């Protein structure tokens, strides 16, 4: 069941990524089309990992290792389907075949899912530890560092996503709820890290506000 849950999350992310790749909006130096669609994966994978870790540990408390691995495997495979989906719907030439998409099927999850899951899992376990019991300010610092890592192309966003996902899972566990609030927070922070910071660093500016009258 956990594998199917991860797979569904991954397929949704893959579908949205392909849609953004071909139909994503653009604004000055900001674009969600083409390679810019990677921002969709960067934002949604931490959300899926956070929801997965909390769901698995709540459902299989004390015996969550195998379900957690199964969930991440499903998410890995689902996100990897971005390559086959793209080949099937938008073939670019004779070389665009399902066979050629297999490396992308495996590599996408290895790059965008596994590091986030490992970092988030480590943070989540630390925040749950009865020995450490870090104060709430630690969660805030994890959020801040996670966003700040967005200044480092790709790898910074991936590691930052793991920090944010793990911090959100730890926050929900400490409070005993608040999944919706934490989910919105993960999305907003990842949008800043994966879209906002790169846009500003590329010389982008915010749209000017014109007051009526």
Q: Using 50, 70 and 90 to split pLDDT, how confident is the model at 74?
A: very high
pLDDT digits 0-9 by tens, 165-176 = 999 999 998 887
pLDDT band per the 50, 70, 90 thresholds, residue 94: low
User: Which pLDDT does position 212 carry in this prediction?
Assistant: 46
- For residue 115, what pLDDT is reported? 95
Question: Stretch 150-171: mean pLDDT, rounded?
Answer: 93
Find out whether 178 and 172 touch, Cβ atoms under 8 Å: yes
Take residue 69 and report the two structure tokens written for it: 């691995």
In a domain, 210, yes or no: no
Q: Is residue 45 part of a domain?
A: yes
Looking at per-residue confidence, does 136 or 85 come out higher? 85
How far is Cα 52 from Cα 68, in angstroms, rounded to an integer?
8
Mean per-residue pLDDT, 123-140: 81
Give a yes or no: residue 166 inside a domain: yes
Give how far Cα 150 sits from Cα of 21, 55, 138, Å.
Answer: 20, 27, 19
Q: Is residue 16 part of a domain?
A: yes
Q: Indicate whether 208 belongs to any domain.
A: no
Average pLDDT over the chain reads 86
Range of the domain at 52: 2-201
Domain contains 191 = yes
Read off the DSSP letter of residue 27: E
Is residue 5 very low, low, confident or very high in pLDDT (cuts 50, 70, 90)?
very high
Cα distances (angstroms) measured from residue 104 to each of 7, 29, 63, 96 = 16, 27, 32, 12
Res. 22: pLDDT tops 80 = yes
9, pLDDT greater than 60: yes
pLDDT at 208 over 50: no
Residue 210 confidence (pLDDT) above 70: no
> pTM (2 decimals)?
0.89
Determine the pLDDT at residue 109: 86
Other CB atoms within a 10 A radius of the CB of residue 161 amount to 34
Q: How many domains does the chain have?
A: 1
Termini Cα distance of the chain: 58
Tell me if 193 is assigned to some domain: yes
In a domain, 67, yes or no: yes
pLDDT in the model for residue 41: 94
| Residue 208 · residue 56 · CB < 8 Å | no
């Amino acid at each position: 069941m956990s594998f199917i849950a991860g797979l569904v999350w991954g397929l949704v992310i893959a579908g949205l990524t392909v849609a953004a790749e071909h139909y994503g909006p653009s604004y000055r130096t900001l674009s969600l089309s083409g390679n810019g669609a990677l921002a969709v994966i960067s934002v949604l994978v931490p959300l899926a990992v956070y929801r997965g870790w909390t769901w698995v540990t709540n459902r299989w408390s004390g015996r969550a290792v195998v379900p957690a691995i199964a969930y991440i495997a499903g998410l890995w495979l689902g996100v990897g389907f971005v390559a086959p989906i793209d080949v099937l719907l938008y073939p670019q030439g004779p070389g665009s075949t399902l066979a050629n998409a297999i490396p992308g099927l495996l590599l996408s999850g290895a790059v965008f899912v596994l590091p986030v899951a490992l970092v988030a899992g480590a943070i989540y376990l630390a925040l749950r530890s009865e020995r450490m019991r870090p104060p709430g300010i630690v969660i805030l610092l994890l959020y801040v560092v996670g966003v700040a890592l967005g200044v480092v192309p790709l790898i910074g966003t991936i590691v930052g996503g793991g920090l944010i996902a793990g911090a959100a899972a730890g926050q929900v566990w400490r409070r005993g709820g608040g999944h919706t609030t934490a989910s919105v927070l993960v999305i907003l922070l990842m949008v800043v890290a994966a879209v906002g910071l790169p846009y500003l660093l590329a010389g982008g500016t915010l749209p000017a506000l014109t007051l009526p009258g």
